Amino acid sequence: STVLVTGSTGFLAQHVIDKLLQRKYEVIGTTRSEEKSAFLLNNFKGKYPSAKLSFEVVADIAAKDAFDELLKKHPEIKYVIHTASPVTPDSAKSFEAGYLAPALNGTLSILNAIKLYAPQVTNVVITSSYAALTEQGNEPKGVVITNKSWNPMNWEDVKTWLDAYSVSKKYAEQAAWKFCEDEKPSFKLATVNPPFVLGPQVFDNSLNKQLNVSNNMLSEITHIDPAATGPQTMSPVLAISAPDIAEFHILPLENKELENERLFVVGAPLIAQKVLNILNDNFPELRGKIAKGDYDSADDLIAELCPKYDISATVKKASDYKFASVENAIVDVFKQYLSKYSI
Ligand code: NDP
């Protein structure tokens, strides 16, 4: 079967495409330019020579009819995975043009195009975010985050780019669910609400000195003063490995239990001290260059400072899915990074 994956150049989307090709799906990806398509095609064809993979350029996902021609042209598309959305800080644009328009209009333009021109599509999976569930970094104390949670923040509360990003994700997800309620399309909708996604880039040659936004959190932790002692409390977050979250984009196509759900999964809670422990344990060459902190405090810090969450609603429906270790994901990030750059 053929799957359309938007935002193919993305860190996460490449993991999704990688798994789809491994499973012999046919994939049509979208990028914003021919050049980006050619780079990806080379990479994936190198890894999977017989892969059925092609790309289409969608220059502006915020345009109302952005996906119309593509869906008219490809009646073979059975599944749609929409990951494209602005993630990086972009000071060149207003919050509205930089985040809200592409996130919200992009979601509506693809859903409308499917409804109008691709009635054969049976399942749509949209990458939402943990940021649609709660205010990341400012989670209310004592609240357990689940797949029923919604971030209370609205557009009028937005002050920083991270606020703009978070509200854009929430509005886009809400608009998608409302679209399904109002329009009663023939496809099923699932959203995936990932916390921090950690893992190596699928291809070494797409690794940049500046890591992508979510892995960059790890990089910031390596920049804590190497002389720092005492428990390191930076970045109390929830994390998931990239291959796991990629899997949760594909499971709704294969498992009816998941096809109409908000999918919220977490691999592990994480805090700077834990990351430092993992790095000091696994990379002797980093010892002394990164902080040691207070090794034995990690578990207590996690229990005290990380958000509380309950993913059982999703995991039960996913046949008690077994998660990859976030620790391994972090080790893989640095194995790849240190083979090309130093910290
Ligand atoms: P990346 O920045 O690596 O990928 C973002 C993708 O969206 C790229 O393909 C990018 O295209 C595309 N994109 C961004 N802005 C636009 C736009 N205005 N018009 C068209 N395409 C655009 O980030 P991730 O892989 O981390 O994120 C992928 C998805 O996962 C996003 O929806 C994000 O919100 C979500 N997510 C990610 C998390 C994480 O921890 N990484 C956590 C929760 C959710 P281009 O390469 O051309 O810029």
Q: pLDDT value at position 92? A: 80
262-304 pLDDT, tens per residue?
999 999 999 999 999 999 999 999 999 999 999 999 999 999 9
Count CB atoms within 10 A of the CB of residue 197.
25
- Regarding the beta carbon of 127 and ligand 1, being less than 6 Å apart is answered yes
Assess: ipTM above 0.90: yes
Which of 85, 104, 213 to probe ligand 1 with, by most ligand atoms within 8 A of CB? 85
What number is the average pLDDT over the span 85-113? Answer: 94
pLDDT band at 210 (very low <50, low <70, confident <90, very high): very high
What's at 341, amino acid-wise? Y
- Regarding the beta carbon of 214 and ligand 1, being less than 6 Å apart is answered yes
Q: Which domains does the chain have, with CATH numbers?
A: 2-197+240-267 (3.40.50.720), 199-238+269-310+320-338 (no CATH)
Average pLDDT, the chain: 97
296-340 pLDDT, tens per residue?
999 999 999 999 999 999 999 999 899 999 999 999 999 999 999
151-195 pLDDT, tens per residue?
999 999 999 999 999 999 999 999 999 999 999 999 999 999 999
Closest residue by Cα to residue 167 from 241, 74, 255, 104: 104
Report whether 304 contacts 336 (CB < 8 A).
no
Q: pLDDT value at position 90? A: 79
Q: Which uninterrupted H or E stretch holds 274?
A: helix 272-282
* Interval between CA 98 and ligand 1 midpoint (Å): 12
Q: Which residue has the tokens 């990479």?
A: 43
Count CB atoms within 10 A of the CB of residue 230.
11
Task: Tell me the percentage of the chain whose pLDDT exceeds 70.
Answer: 100
Give the CA-trace dihedral at 17, 253, 106, 11, to 10 degrees: -30
Q: Residue 91 pLDDT > 80, yes or no?
A: no
Q: Which residue has the higher pLDDT, 184 or 92?
A: 184
What's at 148, amino acid-wise? K
Q: pLDDT value at position 241? A: 98
Mention every residue, 6+ apart, whose C-beta is less than 8 A from residue 271: 232, 233, 234, 235, 236, 237, 298, 301, 302, 305, 306
Q: Which uninterrupted H or E stretch holds 125?
A: strand 123-127
